[in-house]
Amino acid sequence: MPSYMTIYVGGAKFIPARIVIVLLLVPALTELFQRSRWLRASDFFVCAASAWMLAAVLETDQGWSSAAALILEFSGGYFVARAYFFGRRGLEAFVRVLKPVTAGIVAVAVLEHLTQHNVVAALMGLPSTGYEYRYGLLRATSTFPHAILYGSFCAVAGAVFLYSERSFFGRSLYCGLCLFGCVLAMSSAPLMAFGIVLSVYCYDQLLLGCRWRWHALVASLFTLLGVVFLVANKPISWIVANLTLDPATGYFRVATWESAGYYIDLSPYVGYGFGSYASPDDFFGNASVDSVWLTLALRFGIPLVVFILLANITAFLPSRRTASIPYYHDAYMSNMRTAFTLGLTMFMFVGLTVHYWNNSWILWGIWIGIRASLKEESVAVVENPVLYRQGMASIDRDLTVGQATRGFHASR
């Protein structure tokens, strides 16, 4: 749903996704604390990130309500996904719904290009937020606050469809749809992210069965980054500058990184909250900070960046026992682990050039939560297969009873 749809409840502002999270959060936490579930390291880091956001903002300004909204969206999305998208049936349900959702979101972007208007806003009687153009073409936003956020969704959804679809036609259809969505956004980072996803998929299929392929890929990546850091005077700025189609936006982001780095160094632990941190004469200090990592550090300090980064990494980093054995019994779940790992790395990658907020910020938490549940499932199978089977049988019984109950009420 569009994030510009807002509802006020007792003075608090809610977008549709926040309402859903509030309704599901307590049942989700109850589900996670069942005996059949296992907590993961990413759970701790998400909780630590939430606690740090609240503590840091209370030390800097009175923007605690904005911080509370960020905590609800990110952590709430994470724990709801952790609870409900667990096991094969949960993942299949997620992918089954993701297909028409993605098609609908891309269809809205197509209508934007055809009409040159925000179709959803016009239908709901809401004011349009305006448009950006690149090379004379409109940059579609669909139901997202910005074109790059819409394009990022298409890129990570494409990673899921590459691995979830069993037929060549299905992969071509849904991945082609996602690529088309990235093109409609006319944004550099999502297009590059989709190219990376497709390249990794081809690499994976080419070396399928070679267990060393991921170690080789990671080693190559770190080697490339090592060369950049050794050769370039300002390696991060060089990477950011080369992620864009338009050189002007690249240079702007380089200047933004240099300016933000200066102010982060002045308050590295708790940041500046949601208030101003630069003098009115400092253009880049008051300009848009186009990086989620910089924005988090400026608002809440470097520790929050560390917690968020570790939440992502620990959600997919294999444990010693699961890394030492072949992936067990279910090729579909193995594919989903790869798909959501790719999605998380793309969230982190694109985050170098854009700040996530509203539905994109929630989606990031959801993707981390799903990947953590996939890791929980693989660890459970390896460490305690009997207890795992009992837990999954209980979940299947609950689902079956729920479906039978719905059928009974429908027949009545």
| Tens digit of each residue's pLDDT (9 = 90 or more) over 117-161 | 877 777 777 666 667 888 778 899 998 988 999 999 999 999 999
Per-residue pLDDT at 29: 93
Whether 311 has a pLDDT exceeding 50, the answer reads: yes
Q: Which residues pair with 14 in a beta bridge?
A: 7
Confidence of residue 241 (pLDDT cuts 50, 70, 90): low
Q: What percent of the chain has pLDDT over 90?
A: 48
Q: How far apart are CA 177 and CA 154, in angstroms?
A: 8
Q: What is the largest distance, in Å, between two alpha-carbon atoms of the chain?
A: 72
Q: Is the dihedral of CA 287, 291, 292, 294 positive or negative?
A: negative
For the entire predicted model, the pTM comes to 0.88
Whether 267 has a pLDDT exceeding 50, the answer reads: yes
In this structure, the strands spanning 137-138 and 133-134 are: antiparallel
Whether 195 has a pLDDT exceeding 90, the answer reads: yes
Per-residue pLDDT at 384: 63
**According to the per-residue pLDDT averaged within each range, which of 280-284, 374-378, 399-403 is highest?**
374-378
Are the beta carbons of 274 and 63 closer than 8 angstroms? yes
Per-residue pLDDT at 401: 40
Q: What percent of the chain has pLDDT over 70?
A: 85
Confidence of residue 399 (pLDDT cuts 50, 70, 90): very low
Whether 404 has a pLDDT exceeding 50, the answer reads: no
* Three-state helix/strand/coil letters over the chain: CCCCCCEEECCEEECHHHHHHHHHHHHHHHHHCCCCCCCCHHHHHHHHHHHHHHHHHHHHCCCHHHHHHHHHHHHHHHHHHHHHCCHHHHHHHHHHHHHHHHHHHHHHHHHHHHHCCCHHHHHCCCCCCCCCEECCEECCCCCCCCHHHHHHHHHHHHHHHHHHCCCHHHHHHHHHHHHHHHHHHCCHHHHHHHHHHHHHHHHHHHCCCCCCHHHHHHHHHHHHHHHHHHHCCCHHHHHHHCCCCCHHHHHHHHHHHHHHHHHHHHCCCCCCCCCCCCCCCCHHHHCCCCCHHHHHHHHHCHHHHHHHHHHHHHHHCCCHHHHCCCCCCCHHHHHHHHHHHHHHHHHHHHCCCCCCCCHHHHHHHHHHHHHHHHHHHHHHHHHCHHHHHHHHHHHHHHHHHHHHHHHHHHHC
Cα atoms found within 13 Å of the Cα of residue 96, Cβ hemisphere only: 7
Of 10-14, 58-62, 287-291, minimum mean pLDDT range:
10-14
Confidence of residue 405 (pLDDT cuts 50, 70, 90): very low
Burial of 223 (0-12, 13-18, 19+ CB in 10 A): exposed
**According to the per-residue pLDDT averaged within each range, which of 212-216, 282-286, 385-389 is highest?**
212-216
- Mean pLDDT along residues 76-87: 94
- Mean pLDDT along residues 258-264: 89
Per-residue pLDDT at 406: 40
Q: Which residues pair with 134 in a beta bridge?
A: 137
Instruction: Using alpha carbons, list the distances in angstroms from residue 151 to 11, 207, 360.
Output: 33, 29, 10
- Mean pLDDT along residues 271-288: 81
Residue-wise pLDDT for 201-223, tens only, equals 999 999 987 888 988 999 998 89
Of 249-263, 313-327, 372-386, minimum mean pLDDT range:
313-327
Whether 354 has a pLDDT exceeding 80, the answer reads: yes
Which residue type, as a one-letter code, is found at position 340? F
Residue-wise pLDDT for 29-48, tens only, equals 998 888 778 888 999 999 99
Cα-trace Rg, the chain? 22
